[in-house]
Chain A
Amino acid sequence: MRGPSRRIAQAAVTLVGAAVLVWSLQLLAPGDPARRVLVANGVGNPTPTQVAALRAELGLDEPAPVRLGRWLLAAATGDLGRSWRSGAPVAAELADRLPATLRLAAVALALALIAQHRRADLAARGLVFLGAAVPSFVVGTLLLEVVVVRLGIGRVLADGSWGGAVLPAVPLALAAAAVWARVLRAAMLEVRARRHVQVARARGAGRLRVLLVHVLPGASPPLFTAIGMTVGSLLAGAAVVETIFTWPGVGPYLVEAIVARDVPVVQGTVLLGVLAHVVANTLADLAAAAVDPGRAR
């Protein structure tokens, strides 16, 4: 089929472009990165010779396009460089922490989906609206204090297990659930008003059949798109939530790297987030097209 393969090819090109963008950001950085690395590794007052030696070792004196090309090629094979703080390969450190974040994301997505299966009434809509407005760190902090410490449910020191993911997933799920509820409701209203649905109802088709066969397929595409977009924002949301709950995931790793200005880690982690986002969006688009091919784009 020409449609899907074209879409995938476009996604691949966009991914490479985004990778270039992410890499190029470091050209904005003030100061000398080699000096930063030396200071971070305990060399109090780096001498100019030490700085020059490290610059040569890290290849910082080569022209930017050469360095970019090198990084891209390496990233394509899974080599994201080495952390300036620990010296360990970024890819390995990410692989260590990724499962915990994935578990958290899966539970959050599941919770948000569960939250959709409710008939909308005023209270539910109000709660959902609020869910979009309350910052995740406020929900997280209050949850920790009230549920974990005072009520004794769940644990403070997270271990990355599925059970432990429920509480941290709640603030993440709240924001996503609110967006999805709004999208789904609008889409369902619009589809219900369409001709073929009304005709089916008039013909006496059962409520459930109408829902499953006529309404949901029409309403799903915007929902899929919304889910695709949410996956991308989950990484940023995880940064906050995982920090609060000491969840051993990618979030705190990224935040610590930002504070320490550990550029390879920031680049590698952001690239991972971009990859997830592009893949999720492409899958969502493909799914939307498959479910309702008649939909105008």
Chain B
Amino acid sequence: MSRRAELWTGAAVLVLLAVAALAVPLLGPDPDATDYANRLAAPSPSHPLGTDQAGRDVLARAAAGVPTSLGAAVVVTAVSAAVGLLVGVTAAVAGGWVDTVLSRVVDVVLAVPQLVLALAVVGVLGPGLTNLVVAMALAGWAPLARYARTFAAGLLHRPYVVAAELAGVARPVAALRHVVPATAGGVAAVATLGLGEVVLGLAGLSFLGLGVAPPTAEWGQMVAESTTVAGQAPWLVVVPGALIVLSVAGASLLGDALAREAP
């Protein structure tokens, strides 16, 4: 796919999801409205994606899941990117022992596989959406820090930076003005690439019961609640699953396009 097509497709998918998250609650039924007489109903005109075990409209719940599932992933990515950018640029610009110490710390964190580290953090903090976000952010900043350091270190040898230093501008100021914005762009691209993985990770941990508490809608947890009735009502598994796939695909396409553009 051409870079342009990727960019537009990816962005379009994510925008579509965001629009659905805003529009469906206005047009459709309340996602928390139960209707026990109408449980596990197949898709029909009144319930385009059917109903779940409590008679709630699946379309409404799926749309309500966007802020939780996708939104949490965006928060995790943003926090990881910010911390990674800070650590990486500091290491590259300061150099010397600061760089060595920070790089070793990053190596150590990278030695623990991301999801495993997230599981370990949840293991001590306990389940819950906030704890999950904290855990995944703690697990996700290190690769971005390494990327930011490499990127920033490369920039420091660019002519315009060297020229600024020769002209008497102090190193930190040169860094702020030149290195940080460019690195931020690179980090943002790589982080967006990882957004899909974060969505999958959050969904997986929520599926295991370590995430939100019901009845908050979250896609991974909706699948977990529906495994026992998957035979009768397969749409309860397929719909949240498809939304996860859409989010991951959209984020991957967008991230791919942004990464290709970064120098």
Contact = CB atoms under 8 A, between A and B. Distances in A.
Co-complex (A, B): yes
Interface of A: 14-15, 17-18, 20-22, 25-26, 28-30, 129-130, 132-138, 141-142, 144-145, 149, 229, 232-233, 235-237, 239-240, 243-244, 254-255, 257-259, 261, 263, 266-267, 270, 273-274, 277-278
Contacts of A132: 196, 248, 252
27 contacts: A15-B111, A18-B109, A18-B111, A21-B112, A25-B120, A26-B124, A28-B121, A133-B245, A135-B204, A137-B224, A138-B241, A138-B244, A235-B115, A235-B116, A236-B114, A236-B115, A236-B118, A236-B201, A237-B115, A240-B208, A258-B122, A258-B123, A259-B210, A263-B124, A270-B120, A274-B113, A277-B111
B108 A14 contact: yes
Main secondary structure of the interface of A (DSSP, over half): helix
B208 A22 contact: no
Residue of A132, A229, A267 contacting most chain B CB atoms (<10 Å): A132
Interface string B206-224: 0111100000000010011
3 residue pairs, one from A and one from B, having the closest CB atoms: A236-B115, A232-B113, A138-B241
Contacts of A130: 245, 249
A258 B227 CA distance: 21
Contact of B116 (A129, A134, A273): A273
Given A138-B237, A145-B234, A235-B113, 4 more contacts: A30-B126, A129-B252, A138-B238, A145-B231
A229 B110 CA distance: 10
B112 A239 contact: no
Interface in B92-144: 104, 107-109, 111-127
Interface of B: 104, 107-109, 111-127, 196, 200-201, 203-204, 207-210, 220, 223-224, 227, 230-231, 234, 237-238, 240-241, 244-245, 248-249, 252
Residue of B109, B201, B237, B241 contacting most chain A CB atoms (<10 Å): B241
Contacts, number: 150
A91 B160 CA distance: 57
Nearest to A179: B197
B213 to A, nearest CB: 13
Nearest to B201: A236
Given A133-B249, A135-B220, A141-B237, A25 B227 contact: no
Given A25-B120, A25-B124, A261-B124, A18 B208 contact: no
B252 A137 contact: no
Contacts of B241: 134-135, 138
A263 B123 contact: yes
A141 B203 CA distance: 14
B210 to A, nearest CB: 6
Given A14-B111, A21-B108, A138-B237, A236 B124 contact: no
Contacts of A236: 113-116, 118-119, 201, 204
Contact of A239 (B117, B119, B231, B234): B119
A235 B209 CA distance: 17
B13 to A, nearest CB: 11
A267 B117 CA distance: 10
A130 B227 CA distance: 22
B210 A14 contact: no
Contact of A141 (B109, B113, B120, B227): B227
A14 B123 contact: no
B123 A133 contact: no
Contacts of B118: 236
A230 B209 CA distance: 24
Given A141-B227, A235-B116, A236-B113, A17 B107 contact: yes
